[in-house]
Structure 1
Amino acid sequence: MAKVIDYNEDNHSDFEWFEGLAVIRFYADWCKPCVQNFPVFKELAAQYAGHNPEIKFGKINVDQSPILTLRYNVYGLPSTLIFKNGQIIQRIAGVKSLTDMKSILSQVLNESSDSG
């Protein structure tokens, strides 16, 4: 079962140093679109559970992690960043449907496999 890991300023190196893809969602509890759309993100993680190679899914509360929010230039919520080997390769602003998210992730995976 895929897990959406809670990341913060104490454990962020887990995805920053990860050799592979990490899909990290920046959100706030007071952000209604973030809260309403979270089940879509959770479903995305569930659909990629057991994917080979592994894809990490995580979330960062901007109110509890202001340094990470600034480091990654997150200005709008929700924002989803896709990392490959610790580098941001895709920024997704705002609410997206499950179909949109799967399409974006599929495209990223295809580009990753093409580039070796």
Structure 2
Amino acid sequence: MNNMFEYNEDNYHEFEWFDGLAVIRFYAEWCAPCTQNFPVFEQLAQNFAKSHPEIKFGIINIDQSPILTLRYNVYGLPSTLIFQQGQIIQRIAGVKTLMEYSKILQAHT
């Protein structure tokens, strides 16, 4: 089961108020690194859905959610934020490998 959700300014409270871990990636369709690296992020979500189904994974299009982009001080793309109980506990800037994402996330589980 894939637990990847598209969040925006109408439904972001689902991850902001979530008690567990939420991994949210900010991207833009015009961002080449975002597009090229998206399959890696998607694979991360699929891998963790099997071992940790309680973790929420999501994406936010910055062009469709400029208020969230400003609220969370997202200036570079792609940017991945890890939330725990509504608080940002880690920011991941730029493109990472599946192994790098996995190590970072395993440190928080």
**Shorter-chain TM-score tier:** over 0.9
- Give the count of matched residue pairs: 109
Is the CA contact 1:5–1:57 (under 8 Å) kept in the aligned structure 2?
yes
Q: How does 1:1-116 map to 2 (within 5 A)?
A: 1-52=1-52, 54-109=54-109
Query: Aligned partners of 2:52 and 2:30: how far apart in 1?
Result: 35
Provide the residue aligned with 1:112 in structure 2.
none
Q: Which amino acid aligns with 2:25?
A: R
Q: TM-score, normalised by structure 1?
A: 0.91
Rg (Cα) greater in structure = 1
Residue 30 of structure 1 and its aligned partner are, at CA, apart by 0.1
CA RMSD of aligned residues (A): 1.0
Structure 2: stretches of 5+ with no match in the other structure: none
Runs of 4+ aligned structure 1 residues displaced above 6 Å come to none
Query: Aligned partners of 1:94 and 1:53: how far apart in 2?
Result: 25
User: What is the percentage of aligned positions where both structures have the same residue?
Assistant: 69
Structure 1: stretches of 5+ with no match in the other structure: 110-116
